[in-house]
Amino acid sequence: MTLFDLALKNIRRNMKSYSLYIGSTIFSIIIYFTFVTLKYSEDISSLAETSKQISSIMSASAFVLMIFVAIFIAYSNSFFMKKRKKEVALYSLLGVRKRSIGFMLFFENMVIGLLSLVVGVGLGFLLSRALLTILMKLMGLDIVIGFAFSIDAVINTLIVFFIIFLFTSMQGYRVIYQFKLIDLFHAEKKGEELPKARMISAILGVVTLATAYWLALQDLTTSPIWRMLSLAMPIVIIALTVIGSALIFNSVLVYMLSIMKNNKRWAWKGLNLMTSSQLLYRIRGNAKTLTIIATLSATTITAGGAVFGLYYNADKNVQTYTPYTFMWEGAPQEIDPHLIEHAETVHSKTLRIEQGAYEMEYAVIKQSTFEKLAKNLDWSDIQVAKDEEVLMIDAFYNEQWSQKVDSVMIDGTEYKVAKLYDKAVFNTFTIGASAIVVTDKLYSEITADEKTYQAVQVKDYKNQLALSEELAAKTENFSSATEDYRASIEASGALLFVGSFLGLVFLVATGSIIFFKMMTDAEEDKGKYAVLYKIGVSKREMKRTIRSQVGMIFAAPLGLGLLHGAVALTAFSNLLMMNLLVPVLIWMLAYTLIYTIYYFITVRSFNKTVH
């Protein structure tokens, strides 16, 4: 029996800790391979011709994913190595040269890596098929997926992971050479100092974070700070947020916990003392990890929320500028009467009106036409223009950027603008975004060419692509909500897919990082809990303190991440002037839910390790 045989045997018997590591690597490979397959897929690339956005989004995301996967594998690897310290130390003690141990670990890691690659690529192939179907559904496309095994994707994955495994295997060597034999025999750690709560840095942390939030919520157009920092602003905000988070974990939480610990009435009850002092050590020691997790969570929540918001609002966005399903210039066309909800003929004259230095072109419509159109759209604020008055419609009106017009000159007479509507009453593409509603009498007096338009509202407008294409071929100046919706869903659907895909990956990875951390801690805490058990603490009570310790480690970065995300999304929705509340809440809830599942799994494993 050689050392090699023993090492193999050791792998087989230690399957549990190996499987955790192998599982994480396979997971990473599946994720990456699937994503790259989608990127190289012909269906996607034919799609990408129509929208350049998608291919660039895919490329950028693949890069982010690559970095992330590399970090994740490096992390699992170091966790795995830590667990094997004892074994390595023993080999060294029994006189195996470091070079041999290093080679053994290197070899083992490469074998694990190659096996994971085979399994990961295989599973990834199956998974990518399912995911591509989902992607097509989200983009509202009915394409039958002819799915070919992409050699490019395989090669790409092989190269990326080979480099990653080479790197982690080297890492193993580094661990071996830094490792001192004496460390094994100093198992009992040198007494760590209890972290002291520094009031100043605690306050600094809160202030830094508050400043970051305040800056993020500044109005892009009016804020003097934006003007001052311009493009550096987002970087400043992100930097302040990260620093603030780090200080929160390093000082603010430590400060709060020390106060709790010093409150004898609370602390000297049951295991509260144990819970708070364990957390004190843990939070300070893990401040870096917690900051990373909070930042990652915030990124995921923000990106996912924004993308999901866009997708969720695609419907509304289309209707903002294309309220009628179809509009075109000219005579009515034949459409199945069962489909039609409303059909109107619109006459309009075009007027150029001077406004200060500019001359603006307006479509002029009659009051009666306006009322019919608006009624079809269920407007509740239909106003009637009296003599000497006009109504103005400006679909692109923006309080900050648009000039407010109080009166217009038509044929030498001044008319007061009685009301300004900032929404479209007809499709802006066909007639234009700016219109003036005048009394029927005035309309007939205006001398300008009159054009005739048709506005049709049909049932189930999202699924009338055939009709839309038919009309588009036959008419001029054609605008179609069906077509707009398709385009919008195609772009935001791809975004949503990429966003939720990456979001899911980040989520799983952050959860796993906490899981690994907590399992390392559990291993170290074994002795403490054995002592507690011996002095008569019930298992139930121990479970309770474990629950609160693990809970705190999970809740702190999640809470901060949600807060960051909420602020960022508020800024985002202000910028786009979109109400994102519902989709963002759904997104955050989903995120929290999956996170909670991780919490329960971790608590279970922690309990299992300790008892």
The residues that touch another protein, with contacts defined as CB under 8 A, are 1-3, 5-6, 9-10, 13-14, 86-87, 90-99, 181-182, 184-185, 187
Output the six-digit token pair for 304: 């996912």
Residue located via tokens 């970095």: 67
- Cα–Cα distance measured from residue 525 to residue 279, given in angstroms and rounded to the nearest whole number: 12
Burial (0-12, 13-18, 19+ Cβ within 10 Å), 377: middle
Is the CB of residue 438 less than 8 Å from the CB of residue 446? yes
Residue with tokens 């309990």: 607
Question: 183 or 440, CB closer to another protein?
Answer: 183
**Alpha-carbon span 502 to 504, nearest angstrom:** 5
What is the length of the chain? 611
Smallest gap from Cβ 82 to another protein, in A, equals 16
Residue of 459, 493, 464 whose CA lies nearest to 480: 464
Select 4 or 63, whichever has its Cβ closest to another protein. Answer: 4
Taking the least distance from each CB to another protein, the nearer of 100 and 376 is: 100
Pairwise CA distance, residues 122 & 151, whole Å: 13
- The three-class DSSP label of residue 332 is coil
Closer to another protein by CB, 9 or 347: give it.
Answer: 9
Least distance between another protein and beta carbon 529 (Å)? 18
Write down the least CB distance from residue 584 to another protein, Å. Answer: 49
Q: Work out how close the CB of 101 gets to another protein at its nearest, in angstroms, rounded to a whole number.
A: 9
d(CA 486, CA 331): 26
Closer by beta carbon to another protein, 95 or else 412: 95
Strand order in the sheet with 358-366: 407-410, 413-421, 389-394, 434-438, 358-366, 340-355, 450-458, 326-329, 476-480
Are β-strands 358-366 and 340-355 bridged in parallel, bridged antiparallel, or unpaired?
antiparallel
Residue placing its CB nearer to another protein in the complex, 96 or 465: 96
Output the six-digit token pair for 197: 């709560």
- In angstroms, rounded to a whole number, what is the distance separating the alpha carbons of residues 482 and 488? 10
Beta-carbon contacts of 472 under 8 Å, excluding residues fewer than 6 positions away, are 478, 480, 483
Q: How many CB atoms neighbour CB 579 within 10 A?
A: 13
What is the radius of gyration, based on Cα positions, of the chain?
32
The Cα 349–Cα 446 span in angstroms is 8
Smallest gap from Cβ 184 to another protein, in A, equals 8
The answer to whether 475 and 330 have CB atoms below 8 angstroms apart is: yes
Instruction: Write down the least CB distance from residue 104 to another protein, Å.
Output: 11
What is the rounded (10 degree) CA torsion for 11, 12, 14, 15? Answer: 110
Q: Which is nearer to another protein, 185 or 268 (CB)?
A: 185
Single out the residue of 258, 263, 265 nearest to residue 279, CA to CA. 258
Least distance between another protein and beta carbon 88 (Å): 11
Q: Could you tell me the smallest distance in angstroms from the CB atom of residue 502 to another protein?
A: 38
Token pair of 149 as six digits? 């095994």
Residue with Cβ nearer another protein (189 or 269): 189
- Report in angstroms how near the CB of residue 602 gets to another protein at its nearest: 23
State which residue, 17 or 53, has the beta carbon closest to another protein. Answer: 17
Q: Which is nearer to another protein, 474 or 526 (CB)?
A: 526
75 vs 91, beta carbon nearer another protein: 91
Q: Which is nearer to another protein, 9 or 316 (CB)?
A: 9
Query: What is the smallest separation between the CB atom of 311 and another protein, expressed in angstroms?
Result: 50
Which residue, 96 or 420, has its beta carbon nearer to another protein?
A: 96
Tokens representing 520 are 């390392």
Cβ-based neighbours of 365, under 8 Å, separated by 6 or more: 346, 347, 348, 373, 435, 436, 437, 438, 443
Maximal C-alpha separation, the chain? 107
Q: Which two tokens stand for residue 89?
A: 């130390």
Nearest approach, Cβ of residue 87 and another protein (Å): 6
CB atoms inside a 10 Å sphere around CB 446: 15
Nearer to another protein, 14 or 398 (CB): 14
What is the closest distance, in whole angstroms, from the C-beta atom of residue 92 to another protein in the complex?
7
Question: What's the CA dihedral at 511, 515, 517, 518 to 10 degrees?
Answer: 130
Of the pair 181, 585, the CB lying nearest another protein is at: 181
Query: How many Å apart are CA 561 and CA 548, to the nearest integer?
Result: 19
- Closest contact distance (angstroms) between CB of 193 and another protein is 15
Structure tokens at 221: 């157009």
In the complex, least distance from residue 84 CB atom to another protein, rounded to whole angstroms = 10
Query: Least distance in Å: CB of 8 to another protein?
Result: 11
Give the three-class secondary structure for 435.
strand
Q: Write the CB contacts of 281 (distance below 8 Å, at least 6 apart in sequence).
A: 192, 194, 195
